Structure 1
Amino acid sequence: MLIRFALALLLVVAAFVPASVGAQADDPNLARAKRLLSSTPLVDGHNDLPWRIREDSAKPRNVVAYDLRGKAPGHTDLARMKQGMIGAQFWSVYIPGEIKDSGYARVQLEQIDIARRFIALYPERLAFATRASDIHRDFAQGKIASFLGMEGGHAIENSLGALRAYYDLGVRYMTLTHNVTLDWADAALDEPKHGGLTPFGKEVVREMNRLGMLVDLSHVSPGTMSAALDVAEAPVIFSHSGARALVDHRRNVPDSILVRLKTNGGIVMVPFVTSFVSAKVHDQENARDDELKAAKTHYPSDSLAVAHHMAEWLASHPAQTATIADVANHIEHVRDVAGIDHVGIGSDFDGITDTIQGLGDVSKFPSLFAELARRGWSDADLRKLAGQNLIRVFTQAETVAARLQKERLPSTATITELDGRLHP
């Protein structure tokens, strides 16, 4: 409890610290960014609003009570999405990887249901979408093309039939893992078991390509990234990952993978996660975790002593912050290593607690484009970043799927057939 109180106190104090708010209202670069986004759909690769609705403290899972026409408690509502000039949104239908006893498939279906219901609830602004061409169609009508993205292959429960069923329900990308290593794929934040993908994991990628479901490599280990690129017949995406050369976070993408996107055609969508984009924030989080581990070792049976120790540590270590410049640096690194055709944006709004200074919610996207304009980006390159790159990737994946569906039938392979006995 004391640890939570100390964290809450630091957040309150931080709220009163002057922030570098990025572009000002009279900034010509901001005006240029808004003109550009008024004619080019801005595609955000990752927003966790469906889970936020599920976990709402007042009325959990109630899509009507979580009113997006008013000021929502999180980072996202209709008015702020309009201010942010969002043209298309991939809504993450995330489920945790640690709920096995509750049934992954049941919870996944509930999250798809929540997302589809809130999309249908606001037809004046949101349009359920399943194809790349829907983005321009809905943008022309003043609506936000709303796609579903699954965050973690644990939800298919080792079944290609389940994968196909999720596609039929509207899922258009799947992150191969979340934070837990699966029976067939290694995760970035867990112990590797397979050196990447097992034979069944490779079959999952092939079947996703046949369906036209985008293969999302955020959250996976470098070995899984490499194995997926070896197998993939369509461009891959990283829906919310930064550059590991700038911040050595396991969730970020190494340069050795970035260079392979030139051949694969894929895209890294840079997130607004403070510890992914700021080395100072990342280092402080590691130091905090190390301090907590040491405190628990020193006070093995005294949780109050641990809490008191950590409260003192937090009070003497002011929170580090991340800025729009940090995000822009990651975008430019991906551009420099992979190429301008291989970078996009995947905010992770409503899946994060701390926010970037100047990027506090979905209304602030134009400020990021103003920062890049200030750095000398051309209109053509800003349009690619905004959405043209993702639309190209999506369209190419659909083209590959159309060809593969003529060449082969749905896979009936099982994990037992391809991998033998499952790992314990």
Structure 2
Amino acid sequence: MRCEAQPKAGRAMVAVLAAAALAGCATGVESETGVARAGEVHRELLVLDTHLDTAINFGREGWDFSQAHDVSGEIAQVDLGRMAAGNLDGGFFVIFTEQGPLTAEGYRSALDHARERSDTIDRELAKHPAMVGLARSAAEAEALIAQDKLIAFKSIENSYPIGEDISLLREFYDAGVRMAGPVHGGTNQLGDSATDDAKWNGLSPLGRQWVREMNRLGMIIDASHASDAVLDQMLELSEAPIILSHSSPRWAYDHPRNIDDDRIRRIAAKGGAVCMSSIFMSELDLSGERGELFDQYDRIAQMTPAQQRELSRKWRALDATQPMWDVSFDRYMEALLHLIDVAGVDHVCFGTDWDGGGGIEGLMDVTDLPDVTARLIEAGYSQESIGKMTGGNVLRIMRAVEAARTR
């Protein structure tokens, strides 16, 4: 944890947790250093993350979302205490559904899962009303900040659960979802995945309807995980800007999950943004025990506290001997600076993929976020420019999507 990561003024509930998480930090002479100055800048920024898989931890027996857990012995990377410590003001909590068979039974099972995950997010937020609130618009997010609360948006990763019934998007909109992507790791009824064989050469006919309904409802279209052809077609069809909620530049690593410079520019030209991730800047290592633990993590909410601790212990032990990603913090920053150079500061955001496989040495949980701000300052970016990337661009795109809905 970083000593410069202090809570924003006024957040009394989370400030206590942040202070406990940062106990022992040096004071005095450090306040005159560049590190401390970067911390001051970071505290003044609106900081959002567009892809938080943290809901996988909601409902764990004995696990308290409001506390600041120590990442050295805990698999989760996000909680309200550490959000305060890292000055992460909020983000999009993900309703994730694994890709299954394209059958009536598969759709029913996926829909049940997605509804339950959405309800799980609501139940967890309801436990901490003084600390965090659900936002359904840019204005509601700003109102929560004014109330000294953290922000929770909801998003859908993989629209497979709606099956062949586009009207189900309205159900999730009414439940507070404001962003969704059509696919995940597998091609489905809506379009082709970046990491699967192409069936539709882009969007399916139903996928084109999905784009129109997303625009009509005022939901942000998320192109992460979609094939290049799907992205190209969504850029043509959508009347509102598009986001890639957790993607890395292909310049850093040639992988189909990443985005090439030409498409970065085209997303920017349409008013959208690419949210920098920490994944797929190297090959993913899920061999041996790491892969076994990754599969177990999906069921952590059904484990006993002792089983959860053992999973966390093994996971963190492997970080030292078999990290999932062979990427340094310096390399992450090189990729981020490249993305900024190509897209421009008005079209960059952050979606680290916390609790979904993200995190590298030096950026292992949300308390490390001030270090990114420090590096951006070192690179010569102003507080205004950094603020656009950490949160301003997300709210701008949300407003543009809301305006397109009105039209």
- Please give the TM-score of this superposition, normalised by the length of structure 2: 0.78
Q: Which residue of 2 aligns with 1:220?
A: 226
Q: Which residue of 2 aligns with 1:401?
A: 405
Out of 39, 46, 49, the residue aligned to residue 44 of structure 2 is 39
1:364 has 2:368 as partner: yes
Out of 383, 386, 395, the residue aligned to residue 387 of structure 2 is 383
Q: Within 5 Å, which residues of 2 pair with 1:12-411? A: 26=30, 28-53=33-58, 56=60, 59=61, 65-72=62-69, 73=74, 74-98=76-100, 100=106, 103-273=109-279, 276-277=280-281, 281-282=282-283, 285=285, 321-352=326-357, 355-403=359-407
Does the 8 Å contact 1:43/1:345 carry over to 2? yes
Partners of 1:71 and 1:87 lie apart in 2 by 15
Partners of 1:165 and 1:216 lie apart in 2 by 18
SS across alignment from 2:151: strand
Partners of 1:370 and 1:45 lie apart in 2 by 21
Partners of 1:114 and 1:253 lie apart in 2 by 32
Q: Which residue of 2 aligns with 1:301?
A: none
Does the 8 Å contact 2:78/2:365 carry over to 1? yes
SS across alignment from 1:174: strand
Quote the offset at 1:88 in angstroms: 2.2
Partners of 1:267 and 1:177 lie apart in 2 by 19
Question: Could you list the per-position Cα deviations for residues 135-155 of structure 1 after superposition, in whole angstroms to 9, with x for gaps in the alignment?
Answer: 222122221110001000101
Does the 8 Å contact 2:83/2:90 carry over to 1? no
SS across alignment from 1:122: coil
Partners of 1:242 and 1:263 lie apart in 2 by 18
SS across alignment from 1:239: strand
Partners of 2:328 and 2:275 lie apart in 1 by 17
Does the 8 Å contact 1:97/1:178 carry over to 2? yes
AA at the equivalent of 2:167: G
Call closer, same or farther: CA 1:142–1:395 in 2, change over 3 Å.
same
AA at the equivalent of 2:354: F
Q: Which moved more, 1:89-98 or 1:213-222?
A: 89-98
Call closer, same or farther: CA 1:76–1:185 in 2, change over 3 Å.
same
Question: Could you list the per-position Cα deviations for residues 267-306 of structure 1 after superposition, in whole angstroms to 9, with x for gaps in the alignment?
Answer: 1111122xx23xxx32x749x79xx9xxxxxxxxxxxxxx
Call closer, same or farther: CA 1:368–1:85 in 2, change over 3 Å.
same
SS across alignment from 1:69: coil
Partners of 1:333 and 1:162 lie apart in 2 by 39
Partners of 2:381 and 2:329 lie apart in 1 by 15
SS across alignment from 2:153: strand
Question: Could you list the per-position Cα deviations for residues 71-100 of structure 1 after superposition, in whole angstroms to 9, with x for gaps in the alignment?
Answer: 443112221110110112110111211372
Call closer, same or farther: CA 1:52–1:68 in 2, change over 3 Å.
closer
Partners of 2:367 and 2:108 lie apart in 1 by 36
Does the 8 Å contact 1:266/1:342 carry over to 2? yes
Aligned residues, how many?
A: 339
Partners of 2:322 and 2:138 lie apart in 1 by 44
Partners of 2:196 and 2:256 lie apart in 1 by 10
Does the 8 Å contact 1:270/1:327 carry over to 2? no
AA at the equivalent of 1:155: P
Give unmatched runs, 5+ long, in structure 1: 1-23, 60-64, 293-313, 404-424
Q: Which moved more, 1:167-176 or 1:91-100?
A: 91-100
SS across alignment from 2:44: coil
AA at the equivalent of 1:387: G
SS across alignment from 1:103: helix
Partners of 2:348 and 2:146 lie apart in 1 by 24
Quote the offset at 1:227 in angstroms: 0.7
Quote the offset at 1:101 in angstroms: 7.1
Quote the offset at 1:37 in angstroms: 3.1
Call closer, same or farther: CA 1:30–1:44 in 2, change over 3 Å.
farther
SS across alignment from 2:96: coil
AA at the equivalent of 1:267: A
Higher Cα Rg, which structure: 1
Call closer, same or farther: CA 1:200–1:318 in 2, change over 3 Å.
closer
SS across alignment from 1:366: helix
Quote the offset at 1:29 in angstroms: 4.0
SS across alignment from 1:240: strand
Q: Which residue of 2 aligns with 1:408?
A: none
Quote the offset at 1:52 in angstroms: 3.0
Quote the offset at 1:256 in angstroms: 2.2
Q: Which residue of 1 aligns with 2:301?
A: none
Quote the offset at 1:177 in angstroms: 0.5
SS across alignment from 2:48: strand
- Please give the TM-score of this superposition, normalised by the length of structure 1: 0.75
Partners of 1:195 and 1:207 lie apart in 2 by 21
AA at the equivalent of 1:395: R
SS across alignment from 1:334: helix
Does the 8 Å contact 2:220/2:242 carry over to 1? yes
